[in-house]
């Protein structure tokens, strides 16, 4: 299964203020969080127990830019994703559903 989603970051997004002055970027943690939320919404299932196996931030995302998210379920326990602004790759990673050894 391969899907493409899109998220946007407002030109005046609060997280970009001070990150960095005169050269604002969307923090990587926010980009990753919004990517996972979009995937959750598309799948209709929570990924709260999933772990980030890898995440590579390749290029900054600026306030006001729209990010396209491509993701695929490699199997029931692995999701690969990549994010682009236009043709530029900005994030690539994988989430896995593995027991953490912690009982909940």
Task: Render pLDDT for 15-48 as a digit per residue (tens, 0 to 9).
Answer: 888 788 888 999 999 999 999 999 999 999 999 9
Give alpha helix (H) positions in 1-104. Answer: 28-43
Q: What is the pTM of this model?
A: 0.88
Residue predicted with more confidence, 48 or 102 = 48
pLDDT of residue 86: 97
Mean pLDDT of the chain: 91
- Residue 9's contacts (CB-CB under 8 Å, 6 or more residues apart) are 16, 26, 30, 34, 61, 62, 63, 64, 65, 66, 67
pLDDT confidence of residue 104: 43
Q: What is the mean pLDDT of residues 52-72?
A: 97
pLDDT for 39 equals 96
Give the mean pLDDT of 66-90.
95
Cα 14 to Cα 63: distance, rounded to the nearest angstrom: 9
Domains and CATH numbers, the chain: 2-96 (3.10.129.10)
Tokens in use for 102? 């912690």
């Amino acid at each position: 299964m391969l899907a493409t989603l899109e998220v946007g970051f407002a030109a005046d997004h609060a997280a970009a203020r001070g990150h960095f002055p005169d050269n604002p970027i969307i923090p990587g943690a926010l980009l990753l969080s919004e990517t996972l939320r979009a995937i959750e919404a598309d799948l209709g299932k929570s990924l709260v127990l999933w772990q980030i196996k890898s995440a590579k931030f390749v290029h900054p995302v600026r306030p006001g830019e729209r990010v396209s998210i491509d993701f695929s379920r490699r199997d029931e326990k692995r999701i690969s994703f990549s994010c682009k602004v236009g043709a530029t790759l900005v994030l690539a990673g994988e989430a896995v559903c593995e027991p953490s050894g912690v009982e909940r």
